[in-house]
A and B are shown apart, each in its own frame.
Chain A
């Protein structure tokens, strides 16, 4: 039984922020959850998948975020409380839906979790999704701890029903991936079958209906502003004539800074949890007695701009500052000492900023980096190697648009197989543009999950327009990067995962791709020959590289017996393996005699790929 389903009301558990959100939704009787996996939101879906196997909760890993949001919208329109979770950039994919869903509204409560990623721990940008709440006109809550994440997730359903609008629950990595003490409430049961009430002149967004719906949305926003004024998620503490306004994890840094600087009697703090619409009256009341205000928020000056506008409308002229060269940056996440130091600076206090020790300076030489790398036995590396060798043998330079997944690590040398990346699915379409503009050989890479997510329309377009590139689909049978979630083309599913398998090869054929190769990347000669053919041809070509993620097989089936390999005396020290392949199990011996290649048998997966192109590598006989 999932630990999120156990425990008595009043008990306290240590939950990850993402788990707390799921628990909050369960306490609100959520009936349907959808997601597309993406760090830092992934565990929301993973826990709901477990729970859906143990209860009547419906959960799906949808094919992308737009699909996920629309499935949830349909359920919420039919009376089921629904939750849809995604990483920040996922909301771009679902933005078309979001904007007009705000017009359509919901019947049962609907909560959209947007997990932002300041500092880009696992993302291609660090956009601030609070502006989506403003853009779409939706209410937004921002938790500052796992406990608050649970309470807000729970309360957001009722708020959504009161306003007939979906609610944005906006988190950041530090909330999603922090474990904290969470006190439980009663779990709620789910309703039976929902009822879809036909109201086409409310719910079908043709212009005549949408004009009225937009007016309705503005009225709902006004009501939302009233609810924000009274929300218990907005709190004021402290006393004095200085002020700080903050939200999210920054509110924690502020609380520590106030205590450590001893400002309890000098500064008042407005901690906002209900951050769209902003509670204008509460803010004005807060500002009225103050001399100056510091706004502490990561990324964009969302609160700062809003508060300044509210102050200006009332003719208040006190200093309200946040983002500036002298104060806070719009870049990256903050940390406690940074917030303490800027707070001290703004209020003219002596900041105690002892310079931390610098290990590199103390050592007197650079510390070696530790970049992440594709695992030993990764099929992506094997396929990259074949493409590298095919281009080398043909004497052709390739340009490599790539996509989002583990294989993006192919960026790093020695593979260096990534030249252009924007977002999910961009490989296919940027390949078309680059080849059209340059006439050069373009080989694009996309993973299987990403292909289903947003590669399909691009491939249809390429066939229709007659573009000229090779698309390599790296099919490892799972969504590896985010923790091995299934997708429509999965070959290896978690136990009990019910799904209709949608075979990649037939999908590609059905899209009209006539030049198609399917290879097993660990069969080197076969993969190399097919790759040479595919690279040499013109027009839209697709090569599917099919081999399961080694880690995933390991996790599902347990440790398999494996062959062992070693480097024999035949090694001429050519270092081809280091310069072209870069398997973490192959290392240069740093011993006293130095400079010899060796295979770390603990790390080696036994994939037997290198043995096919290096004569010096031989199996170890037992």
Chain B
């Protein structure tokens, strides 16, 4: 599959196997994003598995979820086996590098949320430019931009998850289209936020279409 061509991937491919790893900070909406991906995959005829973090980790800690679909039964992803990494926060995207392989596509928010040890001066937040560069060297493709800023400009600062979903939809790595995802947003999410969510989603689509956001252009994949 090729990320750069804007074609619809082959849903009928019986051998497809896609593992998406989502990571972020409590409150960023990773769970909703993974659920939307799961619902879209179900609509597209797959039997997806979506694994979530609940409980203690949600109090400002790291929240990880995974979406797997196709020829795979295991609900979680081992280190080195994520085909797509969706990083909701710069440091967390980099921390999850061990889940990637040489051909993984990474979509990362470059906005930083300083963890508490950094906020108190006990630890140093690495330079975002540097960690993005290091990420790019290790993986197959890296789309990186300030998703927080895009969410704010779309009118809803909390919609980082929608921006990243939009970017993922436009990266041609999913076996369903951006319109399929919009349809899930229309039918399965809170109608109160729908308009704002769709705007944020479109902003993510635009981000993926801007060449300057691709820190590394993906090659052939799978």
Contact = CB atoms under 8 A, between A and B. Distances in A.
Interface in B66-122: 71-81, 91-92, 94-101, 114-121
Given A14-B48, A359-B95, A370 B55 contact: no
A318 interface: no
Nearest to A600: B119
B134 interface: yes
Contacts of A253: 73-74
A587 B117 CA distance: 10
A482 B56 CA distance: 8
B138 A362 contact: yes
Nearest to A375: B59
B25 A370 contact: yes
A427 interface: no
A337 B98 contact: no
A96 interface: no
A258 to B, nearest CB: 10
A587 B119 contact: yes
Interface stretch (A23-31, A177-185, A460-468): A177-185
B156 interface: no
A174 B26 contact: no
B70 to A, nearest CB: 11
A372 B61 contact: yes
Interface string A342-382: 00000000000011111100110111111111110000000
A146 B73 CA distance: 12
Interface residues of A, number: 59
Interface in A313-343: 335-338
Contacts of B47: 180-181
A582 B120 contact: yes
Given A14-B39, A122-B56, A181-B47, A370 B73 contact: no
A586 B135 CA distance: 30
A497 interface: no
A461 B190 CA distance: 50
A249 interface: yes
B50 A180 contact: yes
Contacts of A196: none
Interface in A473-521: 481-482
A10 to B, nearest CB: 15
Interface in A568-591: 578, 582, 584, 586-588, 590
B75 A249 contact: yes
Nearest to B127: A363
Interface string B38-50: 1100100001111
Contact of A367 (B81, B95, B101): B95
Given A359-B95, A368-B117, A590-B125, A584 B75 contact: no
Contacts of B39: 14
4 closest cross-chain pairs (CB), A and B:
A356-B80, A122-B55, A337-B78, A39-B55
Interface of B: 25-26, 35, 38-39, 42, 47-62, 71-81, 91-92, 94-101, 114-121, 123-126, 130-131, 134, 138
Given A39-B54, A336-B74, A336-B76, 5 more contacts: A12-B42, A122-B55, A368-B118, A370-B115, A373-B59
